[in-house]
A and B are shown apart, each in its own frame.
Chain A
Amino acid sequence: ETGVTQTPRHLVMGMTNKKSLKCEQHLGHNAMYWYKQSAKKPLELMFVYNFKEQTENNSVPSRFSPECPNSSHLFLHLHTLQPEDSALYLCASSQRSGGPTDTQYFGPGTRLTVL
């Protein structure tokens, strides 16, 4: 148990659906992250939020829309996804962003399948 929870754990959606992934951290951290892991590829950073402000968008398509209403919660809103967006989406948090030694604590991920 890392103190970072994600819901749902599994999601199947059609290309025309709209869905949201939720992440919550109970660690009192100020930075939150979304990562994507596609099959046989390394974890890839998508977005970074620091004190609720987005500080990094790693050239992510606009069909992925993040939201960070407070330092404890992070959402990833999904709309008109493509089958190639099927992947494991991981959330993480750290005390702050930008610190080289700050450990990121990860949730268990949401396994997304786009039909």
Chain B
Amino acid sequence: ILNVEQSPQSLHVQEGDSTNFTCSFPSSNFYALHWYRWETAKSPEALFVMTLNGDEKKKGRISATLNTKEGYSYLYIKGSQPEDSATYLCALNQGGKLIFGQGTELSVKP
């Protein structure tokens, strides 16, 4: 059974803080890793698709890195804002199927 682990499960930060969380996955037979942002009562929204070891992608204040050799990806948020409050999901693509982690629930207080 393939396990995709995310940590921490939840995170509470103050507005302006920078934060990061981790997605861990088996490093063998790696194809791609997807990051999603999921606000309550809305649709999960795709953030990044990462494929190459050492990849670094950025979208505004959010960035992600990938290490396929050791099996982890970090998501960073610089200067968190209340509107960043959401659950952040990573998903490993295995044979065309997405295997999701449980998510990191981020709460940013003003």
Q: Chain A interface (Cβ within 8 Å of chain B)?
A: 2, 4, 40-45, 48, 56, 90, 97-101, 103-109
- Shortest B99–chain A CB gap in Å is 8
Q: Does B71 lie at the interface of the complex (its beta carbon under 8 Å from any beta carbon of A)?
A: no
Q: Does B44 lie at the interface of the complex (its beta carbon under 8 Å from any beta carbon of A)?
A: yes
Contact of A106 among B32, B44, B49, B103 (CB under 8 A): B44
Q: Does B59 lie at the interface of the complex (its beta carbon under 8 Å from any beta carbon of A)?
A: no
A97 to B103, CA, bound (A): 23
**Could you tell me if A108 and B42 are in contact, using CB atoms closer than 8 angstroms?**
yes
**Could you tell me if B100 and A42 are in contact, using CB atoms closer than 8 angstroms?**
yes
Number of interface residues of B (CB under 8 A): 25
**Could you tell me if B49 and A103 are in contact, using CB atoms closer than 8 angstroms?**
yes
Contact partners of A45 in chain B: CB under 8 A = 97-98
> How many contacts between A and B, using CB within 8 angstroms?
51
**Could you tell me if A43 and B89 are in contact, using CB atoms closer than 8 angstroms?**
yes
Contact partners of A105 in chain B: CB under 8 A = 43, 46
Contact partners of A107 in chain B: CB under 8 A = 43
Q: Does B4 lie at the interface of the complex (its beta carbon under 8 Å from any beta carbon of A)?
A: yes
Contact of A100 among B32, B46, B102, B103 (CB under 8 A): B32
Contact of A42 among B4, B42, B43, B45 (CB under 8 A): B4
Contact partners of B45 in chain A: CB under 8 A = 2, 106
**Could you tell me if A100 and B96 are in contact, using CB atoms closer than 8 angstroms?**
yes
Write 11 A-B pairs (CB below 8 A) sorted by A numbering.
Answer: A4-B43, A42-B4, A42-B100, A43-B100, A45-B98, A48-B97, A97-B96, A98-B95, A103-B34, A104-B46, A106-B44
